[in-house]
């Protein structure tokens, strides 16, 4: 029996075989595509088909994804975050498509030094946080302090609400989804804060939070259903939804199919979702 990953990959391949015109279009993409949510290196709990950087980049290129914002799986469990970020930067230098997004662990005593290295040494545009794995909440005073320092340094902040479906998590490392409720109060006091939530399955309360919180963005990685992405795009304030795949934990073809094949977004909306919103966040 085929699993979901195999089924989607087979479906994407069949689509190109049955419709050769689509294969031709894939060679000359209609849109620049920026994937704001990819991960490098090995997932700590099992091997993934694209966990070698070269293989992942090859896949992104085959899907006409021209840029990937890359975090590091190593940041989840490693305690030497400085070395994690150094390896990430070194790997990204080999591939012009990859933009390194450093990590910070607020539970470590030198987290401020890691933050400043991301900004001042590595010249990064953003950082990625894993609150559930690092065991703190967004109500933690250190999180507000980090947001202020990141805003001052010109860094956007990505927050991984989750990384893996609870049903497949290791029994010794089960992590709840991050509670986003404190974000409105925290971000309201930080004028230039820019935050992107990764891997969220948005509910009505999440959409209300985004509407009330300037500077808060979402990605599309775990939005489900054929009309899920178009619905999210239409229900959120302009500029707040960015394309993301969560590769290689999720297969990137799936996110592309959900975004493009619904037929509910016109070319202007697709261009905005695939690249323009991300470009604005990156360049702000």
pLDDT digits (tens, 9 = 90+) for 159-177: 999 999 888 888 888 899 9
Q: Are 194 and 151 in contact (CB under 8 A)?
A: yes
Residue 15 in this model has a pLDDT that exceeds 90: no
Rounded CA separation 241/248 (Å): 20
Residue-range domains of the chain with CATH: 32-164+176-283 (3.20.20.140)
Residue range 111-118: mean pLDDT, rounded: 98
Q: Where are the alpha helices (DSSP H) in 110-241?
A: 111-116, 131-134, 141-153, 183-188, 204-212, 228-235
What's the rounded Cα separation, in Å, for the pair 135 and 27?
Answer: 44
Looking at every residue in the chain, the average pLDDT score rounds to 89
Put the strands of the sheet holding 102-103 in their side by side order. 102-103, 126-129, 156-160, 195-198, 216-219, 241-242
pLDDT digits 0-9 by tens, 60-103: 999 999 999 999 999 999 999 999 999 999 999 999 999 999 99
Give the N- to C-terminal CA distance of the chain in Å, as an integer. Answer: 47
């Amino acid at each position: 029996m085929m699993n979901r990953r195999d089924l989607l990959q087979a479906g994407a391949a069949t689509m190109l075989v049955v419709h050769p015109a689509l294969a031709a279009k894939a060679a000359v993409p209609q849109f620049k595509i920026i994937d704001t949510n990819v991960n490098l290196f090995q997932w700590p709990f099992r091997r993934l088909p694209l966990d070698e950087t070269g293989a992942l980049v090859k896949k992104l290129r085959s899907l006409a994804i021209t840029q990937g914002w890359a975090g590091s799986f190593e940041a989840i469990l490693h305690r030497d975050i400085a070395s994690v970020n150094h390896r990430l930067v070194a790997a990204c230098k080999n591939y012009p498509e990859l933009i390194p997004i450093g990590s910070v662990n607020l539970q470590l005593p030198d987290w401020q030094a890691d933050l400043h290295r991301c900004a001042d040494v590595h010249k990064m545009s953003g950082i990625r946080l894993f609150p559930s794995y690092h065991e703190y909440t967004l109500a933690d005073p250190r999180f507000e302090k980090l947001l202020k320092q990141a805003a001052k340094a010109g860094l956007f902040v990505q927050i991984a609400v989750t990384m893996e479906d609870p049903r497949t998590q290791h029994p010794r490392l089960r992590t709840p989804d991050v509670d986003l409720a404190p974000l409105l109060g925290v971000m309201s006091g930080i004028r230039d804060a820019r935050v992107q939530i990764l891997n969220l399955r948005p509910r009505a309360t999440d959409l209300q939070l985004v509407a009330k919180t300037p500077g808060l963005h979402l990605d599309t990685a775990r939005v489900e259903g054929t009309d899920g992405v178009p619905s999210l795009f239409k229900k959120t304030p302009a500029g707040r939804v960015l394309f993301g795949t969560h590769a290689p934990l999720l297969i990137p073809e799936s996110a592309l199919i959900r975004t493009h094949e619904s037929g509910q977004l016109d070319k202007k909306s697709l261009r905005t979702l695939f690249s323009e919103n991300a470009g604005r966040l990156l360049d702000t």
